[in-house]
Chains A and B, each alone.
Chain A
Amino acid sequence: MFDKEKLSQIKEERQKWEEGLLAKTLSKTPESKEEFKSGSGSEVKRLYTPEDIEDIDYLRDIGFPGQYPFTRGYQPTMYRGRPWTMRMYAGFATAEESNERYKYLVSQGSTGLSVAFDLPTQIGYDSDHPLAQGEVGKVGVAIDSLKDMEILFDGIPLDKVSTSMTINAPAAVLLAMYIAVAEKQGVSPDKLRGTVQNDILKEYIARGTYIFPTEPSMRLITNIFEYCSKYVPNWNTISISGYHIREAGSTAAQEVGFTLADGIAYVEAAIKAGLDVDTFAPRLSFFFNSHNDLLEEVAKFRAARRLWARIMKERFKAKNEKSMMLKFHTQTAGCTLTAQQPDNNIIRVAMQALAAVLGGTQSLHTNSRDEALALPTTESVTIALRTQQILANETGVTNTIDPLAGSYYVEAKTKEIEDKAMEYITKIDELGGAARAIDLGYIQKEISDAAYKYQMEIETKERIVVGVNKYQVEEEAPKGLLKVDPAVAEMQKQKLNEVKAKRNNAAVEEKLKALKKACEGTENLMPYILDAVREYATLGEICGVMREIFGEYQQSVSI
C-alpha cells in the first residue's frame, strides 16, 4: 500500500527508533513479559508499521463494502442502513414458557428469534424416550410434535419475524414443522425468513448432537438446500458454525480454517448432488464466536469473509457475488464466562460484542452473566440485550463501516489468520476433506491440543482470568438462578400422549411408511417429512424411521 521509497524510509527510521529511543528505554525499564501473545497464543509484536502490510494491495485484498472480496463487510451501508439483528438464543422447559420469553424479548426490542431446543429434541428422541430422562426441557424447549411448535410460535406472526433454530441432525423435521405452523397461520413458505443450523460436521467435531452417519446426514442437508431453493427462498439453509469449535478450545485461526473446511464439504456435497453452486450458495450462512482478544477477533471476522469469497470464486467458480458473501451470526464466547464474580461477565460480554460489531456481524447473541452457573434469568438476559442496544445507540461504532481497516496491526493480523486458516484447509484437503479429517480424528485432536494448552496456561497463571486465578475474593453462592421445574418432563409426556390419542394414527402410519421408502431411495426427503409432520407424527417417530434405515453415527473417541 506504500511505494518502495517510502517503505525503505520507514524501515530506516524504525531501525533508528529501535536502536535509539527504544533500546534506551528497554535498558532502563524492561517490558513486563518477554513474549506477548494473542488470545489464541500467536505472537504479537511490539509495534506494527506499514512494513507489516507491504504485501497487501488495497483494491485486491481490502476493497469496498458489499464488493468482492468483502473484507470490509458484506453490504454497502452496513450499520448505517440498519443495525445488526439482535437475536437472543432462548428456550427452556415447555413451548408455553418459551413462547412467553420470546414475546418478552420482542417487546424489549429483540429483532429476531433464536430457538434453543432441549437435548432429546436435538437428538431426535421424544420426551418419553428412556434416554430423555433428566434432560427434558433443560437446555432448551422440548418439541415432540407439530402441536408443541404451534404453541411455541403462538401469537408470533411468522411473516414478520426471522427465526433461527439451533437444530442440526433433525433440522429437516423442525424446518418442516415451522413451515407447517406457518401454513396454519396462513403464511406461505416463500414469506418465511430464518435459519436452521443444519451443520452436522461440527456436531461430529465439537457439539455432539449427531444422529446419523455422515453420508445420510449430508443427504439430508443437501435435501434442505434443494427444497428451500425452490419453496423457501428467503431461508438460510445452514449456519456453518465455528462457534462450537472455538468453545471446544480451538484458536481463532482454527475456528476459521475448520469452519470454512466444513463449508467446502457442504458445497462439494451439494454440487455432487447435482445443484448449481449459484442456486444454493447465496443462502449459506455462518456462525462465529467472539472471544476475549478484541483486535484478534475483529481480524478473524474480516479474514473469514475474505477467505470464503476467494474460495467461492476461485475454487467453486461461483458467478453470483451473493454466493461469495460470507454473512454471519455471532455469539459471545460462553467458555470465557466465569462462575466466580459473575457480574464481571457483563464486561466480558460487552467487549466481545464490540469485537463482533467492529468485525461486521449480521446478527448477535450476547451471553448473560449467569451462564457459567445456570440458564439465564430474565433479568440477566435483559442486561445482555441492553449491552447490544448501548453498542448500537451510544458508542458511535456504527457510524462508519469497518472502522479498524487500515490499522497496521489489524490488517497484518487479518492476513495472518487468513493464511493460517488456509494452511488448515490445505491440510484437510490432503486428508480427503472435512468429513474424512473428522473420521481420522485430526480436527478433534488439533482442537483438544489447543484446549489443553489454554487450560494449562490458566493453571500456571501465564494466562490470567480475573476472579479465577487473580483478584479472587471469597464470595457467597449466587441466588435466584433459573431452575427448570422437573415436572416439565411429566407435562411434556402427557401432552405427547394426548397428541397421539387425538391424531389420525392410520394416516401417521401411512406417512411414516412413505418416508421410510423414500429414505431407502434417493429422492428429496423434505416433502415426505412435511407430510408426516402435518399428521402430527412425532419427532421421535420420524427420526426413528430414519435411524432404522440410516443407522447411527459412531464417534471416534480420543483424548
Chain B
Amino acid sequence: MNRPIRVLIAKPGLDGHDRGAKVIARALRDAGMEVIYTGLRQTPEQIVAAAVQEDVDVVGMSLLSGAHNYLFPKVVELLREQGVNDVLILGGGIIPEEDIPGLKEAGIDEIFTPGTSISKMIEFIKNNLKR
C-alpha cells in the first residue's frame, strides 16, 4: 500500500465528550495517517456515508455515554449493508469489560478502554489493516 492509512474518527450518538477523539485524531495524524474527524452527534448513517465517501481503511468510534451497545453494532451493520467488509472497525471510551465480547461478536475489531497508550493503538492499526 503506497498511500497513507486513512482513518475516520467518529462521534456517534449524542455524547459530547470529544477530548479523546480529538487527541487520537491528532496523534494518528502525527503518526502519518490521513485523519478525518466527523465532529459530534453523528448518526450511524452519517458515519457510514462518510466512511464510504472518504474510502477509509479504519473507522474509530469514541463514545462515553453508554450507548455503545446500540450504536457501534449499528454502524457495522450499515457498513455491511453497503458491502464494506475490509475496513478495520475500532471503538473506544467508557466501555465496561463485560460488554466487549458482545461488541466483538457484532463485528467491532477492537475496543480500547481508558488508559490505553496511543503508541499501542497505532501499532494495532498498522498490524491489523484489512486491505
Contacts and interface: CB of A to CB of B under 8 A. Distances in A.
Interface stretch (B54-62, B76-84, B111-119, B123-131): B111-119
Contacts, number: 109
- Of the listed residues A247, A338, A452, A468, the one surrounded by the most CB atoms of chain B closer than 10 A to its CB is A452
B100 to A, nearest CB: 9
Contacts of A458: 117
A469 B119 CA distance: 13
A375 to B, nearest CB: 7
B19 A335 contact: yes
Contact of A338 (B69, B70, B114): B114
B71 A451 contact: no
Interface residues of A, number: 47
A459 B97 CA distance: 23
B5 interface: no
Contacts of A109: none
A516 to B, nearest CB: 25
A208 B67 contact: no
A477 interface: yes
A340 interface: yes
Nearest to B63: A134
Interface string A110-135: 00000000011011000000011111
Interface in B2-41: 13-19, 22-23, 25-27, 29, 35, 37-41
A373 B94 contact: yes
Contact of A459 (B39, B40, B41, B117): B117
B65 A208 contact: no
A135 B115 contact: no
Interface in A129-173: 131-135, 138-139
Interface string A294-305: 000000000000
Interface extent on B, as a size class?
35 or more
B98 A119 contact: no
A135 B15 CA distance: 9
Contacts of B119: 459
A248 interface: yes
Given A131-B43, A448-B22, A481-B96, A559 B29 contact: yes
B102 interface: no
Given A135-B67, A374-B94, A469 B16 contact: no
A89 B96 CA distance: 21
B16 A203 contact: yes
A16 B117 CA distance: 46
A139 B66 contact: yes
B40 A374 contact: no
Nearest to A555: B39
Contacts of A248: 18-19
Interface string A213-228: 0000000000000000
Contacts of B69: 134, 486
A557 interface: yes
A374 B96 contact: yes
A373 B96 contact: yes
Contacts of A135: 13-14, 65-67
Contacts of B43: 131
A319 interface: no
Contact of B23 (A138, A340, A455): A455
Contact of B118 (A120, A373, A455): A455
The 6 closest A-B pairs by CB, nearest first: A208-B16, A134-B70, A477-B97, A134-B67, A557-B39, A138-B66
28 contacts: A119-B13, A119-B15, A119-B65, A119-B67, A123-B14, A131-B41, A132-B14, A133-B70, A134-B74, A135-B66, A138-B66, A139-B66, A207-B16, A208-B41, A209-B14, A249-B19, A338-B115, A340-B115, A374-B96, A448-B19, A448-B22, A448-B23, A455-B118, A467-B115, A468-B115, A481-B98, A557-B37, A559-B26
Interface of B: 13-19, 22-23, 25-27, 29, 35, 37-41, 43, 65-67, 69-71, 74, 94, 96-98, 113-115, 117-119
